[in-house]
């Protein structure tokens, strides 16, 4: 199978959070075995789904002083299928148009793994002073759980790591920290009775509204348009305490929600309504976003922390949702605790349950380090950008840096306005250049 067809096959494989990465990892493992790697699949389970970390090494590798070449094998959920106009409304059907390949995961970040494997296979039979290990991880989009297992299990012994994310073929030496929070707002017994009555009564007076926005990566919310925000702004214009029957918006906490629906019972108003508490929380998050603007770190774009209310849902008993915060490197732990503490206090006063589900720190590798300076030399040799940059989103460097590893992010394709959106794309020419870059990395770092 030629490389383009391998790319198409990888896009066809569903490795979204609702499925897990097992099928993609098995496909990658079979390919690596065919290309002469010694392959190990590290079994795991997350969110009830079978998952794998993949490790591909040269045969008889000494497994110490390694150089990690890593790419996560999972993707986000695709969101509304109707938005995938380039792939006949099927995000798992790759479409090639000139230099571009469209689908779910060509940029973020399945095809980067194939570029690494294609480059590294040329060296599996050569003696290496620092052996490489090609790593494919699971559940990056849900909290970098695969990378956490890489380090906690001692499966690799390395000082350097090259992490795959779309960077337009630039070297990324730093990324933001990441925080994910969940909230739950219980309905009162009166609201639940009203909800049951509305479901039974076909003539019950209700109104339903649909809101449309524009998806974007949550690290760059200014490039999107939140449908959830539109829905809550509309709800705020309704009578205080209006009966909320349902709200549904967003598919992933790290994606700006493109669609939301709101169903209300305009004929009933409740003194202790869950809708009042939801709007109080929404206003508090808006105040935080305004405060973030005063914390500039000009090396990053956006140059300040950002917040994304990615998911809001209802079930029979409650409203629940998740929001994420991207934290620029100059923000210290006490400031973060102040922000989350204020939200927690509000939630406590409103009888809202609040949880911090996961967090990862910002990561910065000094640009004067041997890893970065050598990578810059490779970029210069290949005619790529020689200026290292930062990345607003979190990356698995946040997992490796606390363990003392120098890291950088590199990958083919555009991130801004492309990752976590419908009609995600990559450039075939970028895939070739990325392969060349990884080939040179092996020559410089491993031989």
Whether the Cβ atoms of residue 1 and residue 9 lie closer than 8 Å to each other = yes
Q: What are the structural domains of the chain?
A: 3-175+362-445 (3.40.630.10), 177-360 (3.30.70.360)
Calculate mean pLDDT across residues 110-125: 98
Give yes or no for residue 203 having a pLDDT over 60: no
pLDDT given for residue 68 in this prediction: 98
Give yes or no for residue 261 having a pLDDT over 80: yes
pLDDT band at 47 (very low <50, low <70, confident <90, very high): confident
SS3 360: strand
pLDDT given for residue 204 in this prediction: 59
Give yes or no for residue 198 having a pLDDT over 90: no
Q: How many CA atoms lie within 13 A of 57 on its CB side?
A: 21
pLDDT given for residue 296 in this prediction: 94
pLDDT digits 0-9 by tens, 90-105: 999 999 999 999 999 9
pLDDT given for residue 201 in this prediction: 65
Handedness of CA 81, 83, 86, 88 (dihedral sign): positive
pLDDT band at 251 (very low <50, low <70, confident <90, very high): confident
Residues ≥6 apart with Cβ < 8 Å to 412:
107, 111, 112, 115, 166, 169, 426, 427, 430, 431, 433, 434
pLDDT digits 0-9 by tens, 135-147: 999 999 988 999 9
pLDDT digits 0-9 by tens, 142-197: 889 999 999 999 999 999 999 999 999 999 999 999 999 999 999 999 999 888 87
Give yes or no for residue 64 having a pLDDT over 90: no
Full-model pTM? 0.84
């Amino acid at each position: 199978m030629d490389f383009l067809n391998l790319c198409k096959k990888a896009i066809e494989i569903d490795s979204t959070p609702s499925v897990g990465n097992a099928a993609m990892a098995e496909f990658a493992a079979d390919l690596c075995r065919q290309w002469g790697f010694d392959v190990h699949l590290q079994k795991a389970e997350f969110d009830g789904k079978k998952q794998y970390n993949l490790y591909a090494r040269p045969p008889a590798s000494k497994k110490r002083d390694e150089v990690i070449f890593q790419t996560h094998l999972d993707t986000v959920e695709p969101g509304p299928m109707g938005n995938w106009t380039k792939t006949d409304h099927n995000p798992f059907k790759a479409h090639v148009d000139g230099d571009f390949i469209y689908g779910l995961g060509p940029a973020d970040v399945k095809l980067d793994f194939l570029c690494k494997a294609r480059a590294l296979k040329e060296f599996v039979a050569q003696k290496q002073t620092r052996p490489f290990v090609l790593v494919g991880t699971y559940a990056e989009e849900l909290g970098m759980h695969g990378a956490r297992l890489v380090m906690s299990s001692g499966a690799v012994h390395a000082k350097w790591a090259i992490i795959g994310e779309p960077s337009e073929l630039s070297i990324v030496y730093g990324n933001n920290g990441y925080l994910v929070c969940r909230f739950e707002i219980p309905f009162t017994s009166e609201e639940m009775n009203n909800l049951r009555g509305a479901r039974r009564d076909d003539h019950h007076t209700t109104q339903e509204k649909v809101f449309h926005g524009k998806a974007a990566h949550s690290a760059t919310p200014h490039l999107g348009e939140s449908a959830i925000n539109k829905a809550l702004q509309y709800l705020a214009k309704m009578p205080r305490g209006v009966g909320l029957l349902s709200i549904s918006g967003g598919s992933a906490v790290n994606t700006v929600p493109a669609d939301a629906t709101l169903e209300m019972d305009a004929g009933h108003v409740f003194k202790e309504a869950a809708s009042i508490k939801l709007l109080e929380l929404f206003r508090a998050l808006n105040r935080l976003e305004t405060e973030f603007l005063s914390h500039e770190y000009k090396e990053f774009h956006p140059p300040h922390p950002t917040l994304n209310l990615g998911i809001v849902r209802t079930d029979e008993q409650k409203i629940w949702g998740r929001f994420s915060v991207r934290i620029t490197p100059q923000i210290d732990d006490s400031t973060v605790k102040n922000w989350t503490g204020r939200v927690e206090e509000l939630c406590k006063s409103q009888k809202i349950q609040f949880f911090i589900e996961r967090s990862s720190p910002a990561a910065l590798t000094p640009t004067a380090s041997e890893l970065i300076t050598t990578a810059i030399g490779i970029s210069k040799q290949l005619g790529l950008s020689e200026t290292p940059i930062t990345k607003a989103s979190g990356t698995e460097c946040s997992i490796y840096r606390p363990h003392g590893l120098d890291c950088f992010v590199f990958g083919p394709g555009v991130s801004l306005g492309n990752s976590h959106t419908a009609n995600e794309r990559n450039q075939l020419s970028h895939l070739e250049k990325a392969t060349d870059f990884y080939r040179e990395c092996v020559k410089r770092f491993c031989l």
